[in-house]
Amino acid sequence: MAKLILLCIKFVLLCSIADAVFEDQVGKFDWRQQYVGKVRFAHFDMHVQSSKKVILATEKNVFASLNSRTGDLYWRHVDKTGPEGNIDALLLHGQDAVLVAGNGRVLRSWEVNIGGLNWEIVLDSGSFQSACFVGQQDSVKYVAVLKKTAISLHYLSNGHQKWLENLPESETVQYQAVYSGGNGEVYTLGVVPHSHIAVVVYSVEDGEITKQISVEAPWLSNIPTSCAVVGQGMLTCVDPATVSLYTLDLEEQSQMTQIPLQSLGLEVSPGFQPVLVSTQPNPARPPLSEFFLQLGPDHHLLLQLNNGQIVTLRDFKPALLVSFATTGEKTVAAVMAPKNKTVSYCEITDSNFFHWGLFFKGFSKDHTLPCFLPQACSLNLFSAESGRRLLDTTLIFNMDPNGGKPEKLYVQAFLKKDDSVGYRVMVQTEDHTLTFIQQPGRVMWTREEALSDVVTMEMVDLPLTGTQAELEGEFGKKAAIQDGLLSMVLKRLSSQLILLQAWMAHLWKLFYDARKPRSQVKNDVTIENLSRDEFNLQKMMVMVTASGKLFGIDSKTGTILWRHYLDNIPSNAAFKLMVQRTTAHFPHPPQCTLLIKDKDTGLATLHVFNPIFGRKSHITPPALPQPILQSLMLPLIDQDYAKVLLLVDDQYKVSAFPSTKNVLQQLQEMAGSIFFYLVDSNQGRLSGYRLRTDLSTELIWEVIIPTEVQRIVTVKGKRPNEHVHSQGRVMGDRSVLYKYLNPNLLAVVTESTDLHQERSFVGILLIDGVTGRIIHEAVQRKARGPVHLVHSENWVVYEYWSTKSRRNEFSVLELYEGMELYNSTVFSSLDRPHPPQVLQQSYIFPSSISTLEATLTEKGITSRHLLVGLPSGAILSLPKMFLDPRRPEIVSEQSREENLIPYAPEMPIRTEWFINYNQTVSRVRGIYTAPSGLESTCLVVAYGLDIYQTRVYPSKQFDVLKDDYDYMLISSVLFALFFATMISKRLAEVKLLNRAWR
Amino acid sequence: MAHLSPFQLSIFSTVSFLLCTNFVCCNNGRRVGDALDTEFGGFSVPLEHSFEVDDVAKFRVRGALVLKAGREPSVSLSQNQLSEEDRTKLKEVAAVDGLYRIRVPRVFLQTDRQTERQMEGHLTAFVRACAMVESHLSDVISLHTDVSGYLIGVSIVTIPGACRGTEVEDEVDLEVFNSTLSIVAPVNAPGPETALFLERMEQEMEKKGKNPQEQKSFFAKYWYLILGGAIFLMATSSAQPPAGGDREQS
């Protein structure tokens, strides 16, 4: 018996799972892109002249090295998220990169060639202030780390602590900077705001205080923002109030010298905090005596400090960004200046609108769209010592009209063969893009680091090709009515001709490509040749990132086809992306609407755009003066086939977009059957509203969950585009158990406020969103969040942490109406008096999870899988079959008939279920699934720090012939059989004739 | 010992779990008799209803809910008949497809002190007025509590629930409410069922242990295979020399 069960299990497992890819399929249907996040520190590896590395530390706590020729990652180290892994400082010297992470918790040294860890030490607690290299006699031996109350010196070779000294008077003095000029002393600079500067000098050898001075500076509050060390230990500060520079010789003086900027003939832009930028090319030597002073947003000065005197070397106005770079013994200054500052509006007409006009016949006729002419910036190199412009060093940087303004400039200078200085620059723009440019302006690569923080996404079908669209147009409704018979015939002929032409072109291309070796055939996807494929497997991924940059990515190759940066996005914005019109309504262009809501004020704006080309739509979205509480897409469509978006403001008034007469009329007719719900998790209130004909609302139900006991964490409905193929399940005895398929059902998850491990619980409520009826209420005792939840069809799957057993557990709820349906034709929430049967079962899951999603297919025939994003970066495709509350504990004949797997408390994780084999997705935060044109295939995009796209086949490819399908064999057999029948027929005839003659 | 303890623990957990389910069954003992003694711990809150032609809620008292607090809360309802005026109004509301709403105040059931029971706000629910009329005022009202005994929601359905547009001629049908009341507490969601599974595994192991076939030694089980292999090896080795000889000759 036991053997039989085991055999049965094995059989089921073997049948259900063959998800793993074959070796030759790697990368065929999937791709991965790795990102690092917004760059905080970047250094060029300079220790070898020909080095191609850029060392980056980012705000996503990633430390990485890029190939500066291609922009690809050499290696990447992903630290913990949040403040624990926060990278405070990055210092690069030779082959060693020293990193302070976690607010001064650890000090690490990395080898930059291969990204190996040299050493790591844990520092004493205390908030990190500053770090610098300390050198002696032209060699860098130590690294100094300044914390709030202490300073420590570590050997660069092994990280061991040389000495640790407490800072004097650290209760009153805020120590903020550390500096070493290579003369055997370490200077720590502290400030008592609006009083004085404290300078403590330590001897490198034993950490003894050799000098301690305090200098009056009642105007100073923060050293790093307003001071810099220039030349031979001259602390130079700028005071915007008195408009003057102050200098202090750290070695000799005890009084600051004031130099009014007016004496230099300079003025500060009103309201601008001047910034000083100095450079210290070698940590074992003092900084250069040249420095930049920024006096306005586009005004920089190159100054020189010479024996206490300040000399203006060059005035740069306008100059957006400046940067120093050193190669060998030469230090240069790179200055970026706008080339033409004009921002103009241009008119889009059919002629300059490329050849996309075909898709946009009905759209692009009479609209002028504001568009920014590509603004260019020019970069030049200047000698740091003299301020002279170096010849032949102009570089043109064409700014992306859909990108942000440049923010930071990183310059890689190198000596050419003739000893002149050449350079390349990496420009970081507001939209987190890195652009690497070579002279005279060739963009070598760009990296869209905004994609490391995707917030939400949608997949949109691609439009039809031109010829297909032509055919559509021909047989459109309007055409048939207007035209007569003859013109229809002519049209028909012409469209057939076009088809023939396209086919010939296709054949020609095939023939032409066949002659070339395979490696040379490049199928570059551009926005012009985008078109839907046979099975709709290629789609446009519209991704919204936290920085406010939108991307259109081709799902097949991962090519970024368009990008659009929305400036003035609030930093705490919440995004909701909705597809109002798909590509199915030619000639109307597809339309997406992005709702951007400020989380604090609740004020929202709408951005309406075309998801295929990324351009802003000509439709002006309504201004939303009131905070928005809820938005919902209705299945109603207006006369232009756009779905209606309803927005509910804080006065419970409803506005519609688009709000044409037609829409308002439809809304009035439908008002009685439009219900919506609001969730206020602060008050624990769930409330339902009904729309009235005058677009006001009325409260119809209310459920209040006391916040003292539990708080609402998640509320999840079903996906509106989900199809359920079968209404019931066939049982072992051939009867049918009907599913409770309530499209209005909401799954509400609550967590207890009491976090004690004995008393904490997770609550699950199933509420009908129309009537507010609580369908089911369950508590998972001794459990804690974070809860991940999937709600689909007639089931809810959630995952929680069991505090009692200290493990992750999955639980599945399934709802059934019973053996007969109450009303089999329509479902109405208002007319389902009998509560459904609820079945529930739980399982142990041997890993924690990051995100959870279910597969989705066109018609819902294919069995469902759950896609589980694991913290390890793997994405597990878990058959829903394993999460079935009807799994029997004791196997019976009937359960075997039903193909139920016997219950086992532990959920297996099989490595062949990992759909991304070794392509791990770092910090996976969300999984998006979309149906394709093939019923068997579901498109999956996992996003986090990386983006991974693939296809999954939950029931295998039952509707596709395999790649290695033997067409030859089958056709030869067919032919053979055909001839055999012919011959045998002939033979039979002859035989019959012979018999007749006998 | 260390081996045993998890097993015992899991048994304990199942026992406690069974207890819990029992407790829940008691909670779900839906129907509570109409006549309930309100002496021990019972208290009453108003059940209000509203049905207006213009759909602006005006709640009036429909009856009194007598709630018995404690570990096993129960509820009963004493309600008035619908007046003549109300009956016609309800029919009017049903004719324009208005709503019949009910509401109860938020209460806390697990306390004896009267002051702590009542809380701000009401819980509301609705049903279509026509359904109310067509079902001859037979409704099912459930009061949902959370784990700690706070009332969190109320729901009302009529049986049958549909509005078919049938006329209710007899006024008498709309006089008396035929209400079914229940208090529903959350059920305990089951955890992974390890104890039973382990038990089953153990049984299987025992079965295996008892089965004499399984206990046979390796040689006893596979003697024929070994013998066959040996014969095969012997046969091949005896056939080899000629082959080797061939090679030597060539």
Between A889 and B114, name the one with better pLDDT.
A889
Please report residues of B whose CB lies closer than 8 A to that of A766. none
Distance from CA of A724 to the nearest CA of B (A): 25
Q: What contacts A142, CB < 8 A, 6 or more positions away?
A: A133, A134, A135, A153, A154, A155, A156, A162, A204
C-alpha Rg value of chain A to the nearest Å: 34
B-facing residues of A in 614-673 (CB < 8 A) are 672
| pLDDT value of position A372 | 43
- Alpha-carbon gap: B176 to the closest alpha carbon of chain A (Å): 20
User: Is A833 an interface residue toward B (CB < 8 Å)?
Assistant: yes
Which residues on chain A are in Cβ contact (under 8 Å) with B202?
A: none
Asked if A267 has any chain B CB less than 8 Å from its own CB, the reply is no
How many angstroms separate the CA of residue B38 from the nearest CA in chain A?
A: 27
Residues from chain B contacting residue A804 (CB–CB below 8 Å): 13
Q: Is the pLDDT of residue B36 over 80?
A: no
Residue of B nearest to A828 (CA): B162
Min distance B65 CA to chain A CA atoms (Å): 18
Q: Using a CB-CB distance cutoff of 8 angstroms, which residues of chain A are in contact with residue B130?
A: none
Reported in sequence order, the residue ranges of A857-991 that DSSP labels E, i.e. its strands, are: 865-869, 875-879, 926-931, 938-943, 947-952
Interface-testing mutation among B48, B56, B152, with chain A (most A C-beta atoms within 10 A): B152
B87 at the A interface (CB within 8 A)?
A: no
Query: In angstroms, rounded to a whole number, what is the distance separating the alpha carbons of residues B120 and B118?
Result: 7
Nearest residue on chain B to A672, alpha-carbon basis = B97
pLDDT for res B249: 42
Residue B128 distance to chain A (closest CA, Å): 8
CB contact under 8 A, A890 and B200: yes
Q: Give A779's contacts in chain B (Cβ within 8 Å).
A: 147, 186-189
- Contact (Cβ atoms closer than 8 angstroms) between residue A873 and residue A710: no
Please indicate whether, in this complex, the C-beta atoms of B147 and A710 are within 8 angstroms of each other.
yes
Q: Look at B9 and A290; give whichever has higher pLDDT.
A: A290
The answer to pTM > 0.90 is no
Cis geometry, peptide bond prior to residue A297 (ω within 30 degrees of 0): no
Cβ atoms A578, A608 nearer than 8 A:
no
Asked if the Cβ–Cβ distance from A700 to B157 is below 8 Å, we say no
Other Cβ atoms closer than 10 A to A248: 24
DSSP code per residue over A651-685: TS-EEEES--HHHHHHHHHHGGG-EEEEEETTTTE
Report how far Cα B207 is from the mean position of its chain's Cα atoms: 36
Q: Are A164 and A128 in contact (CB under 8 A)?
A: no
User: Taking CB atoms and an 8 Å cutoff, what residues of chain A touch B200?
Assistant: 889-890
- Closest approach of A526 to chain B, Cα-based (Å): 52
Rounded-to-integer distance, Cα A423 and Cα A409, Å: 12
Give chain A's residues under pLDDT 50.
1-2, 4, 7-8, 11-18, 342-374
Nearest to B197 among A703, A781, A903 (CB): A903
Chain A residues with CB inside 8 Å of B93's CB?
A: none
Contact criterion met (CB < 8 Å) for A777 and B187? yes
pLDDT attached to residue A843: 94
Question: Angle at which helices B194-210 and B5-28 pack, to 10 degrees?
Answer: 130
CA distance B76 to chain A (A): 20
User: A672 is written with which tokens?
Assistant: 């009685």
- Calculate how close chain A gets to B171, using CA atoms only, in Å: 24
Please check whether residue B230 touches A, CB under 8 A.
Answer: no
Burial A76-87 (b: 16+ CB within 10 A, else e): bbbbeeeeebbb
pLDDT for res A111? 92
**In B, which residues are within 8 Å of A773 by CB distance?**
125, 153, 155, 157
Give the residue with greater pLDDT, A437 vs B22: A437
Give A703 to chain B, closest Cα distance, Å.
5
Our CA-based measurement puts residue A651 at a distance from the nearest CA of chain B, in whole angstroms, of 17
Chain B residues with CB-CB distance to A1 below 8 A: 207
Q: With an 8 Å Cβ cutoff, are A777 and B161 in contact?
A: no
In chain A, whose CA is at the least distance from the CA of B100? A700
Smallest Cβ–Cβ distance between B189 and the set A698, A764, A831 belongs to A764
Distance from CA of B234 to the nearest CA of A (A): 36
Residue identified by tokens 């406010």 is A548
Q: Does B206 touch chain A (CB under 8 A)?
A: no
Buried b / exposed e over A156-173, threshold 16 CB at 10 Å, is beebeebbebebeebeeb
For chain B, state the CA radius of gyration: 36
CB contact under 8 A, B188 and A809: no
Tell me if A709 and B106 make a contact (CB, 8 A cut-off): no
Best of B21, B48, B102, B126 to mutate (most A CBs within 10 Å, chain A): B126
Residue A41, CA distances (Å) to A108, A120, A189, B26 in order: 15, 20, 23, 64
Phi, psi of A492 (to 5 degrees): -60, -50
Looking at residue A940, its pLDDT comes to: 95
3-state secondary structure A377-427: EEEEEEECCCCCECCCCCEEEECCCCCCCEEEEEEEEEECCCCCEEEEEEE
If you measure CA to CA, which chain B residue comes closest to A766? B186
| CA-CA-CA-CA dihedral for A493, A496, A501, A507, to nearest 10 | -150
Is the Cβ pair B121, A774 closer than 8 Å?
no
From the list B155, B188, B192, the residue facing A809 with the nearest CB is B192
For residue A716, give the nearest of A808, A597, A816, A796 by alpha carbon.
A796
Least confident of A308-322, A441-455, B105-119, B151-165: B105-119
The B residues from 127 to 156 touching A (CB cutoff 8 Å) are 127-128, 131, 140, 142, 144, 146-148, 150, 152-153, 155
Report the residue of chain A nearest B189, measured CA to CA: A780
Chain B contact set for A763 (CB, 8 A)? 146-147, 186
What's the confidence (pLDDT) of residue B133?
87
Q: How many CB pairs under 8 A join A and B?
A: 140
- CB-facing half-sphere around the CA of A223: CA atoms within 13 A: 23
How far does A637 lie from chain B, in Å, by closest CA? 26
Check CB contact under 8 Å for A772 and B146: no
Q: Given CB atoms, is A6 within the 8 Å cutoff of chain B?
A: no
**A774 lies within 8 A of chain B by CB:** yes
**How many CA atoms lie less than 13 Å away from A563 in the CB half-sphere?**
22
Residues of B (45-84) whose Cβ lies below 8 Å from A: 55, 57
Question: Does A611 sit behind a cis peptide bond, omega within 30 degrees of 0 on the bond before it?
Answer: no
Contacts of residue A191, Cβ cutoff 8 Å, sequence gap at least 6: A173, A174, A176, A197, A198, A217, A220, A221, A222, A223
Kindly provide the ipTM of the predicted complex, given to two decimals.
Answer: 0.77
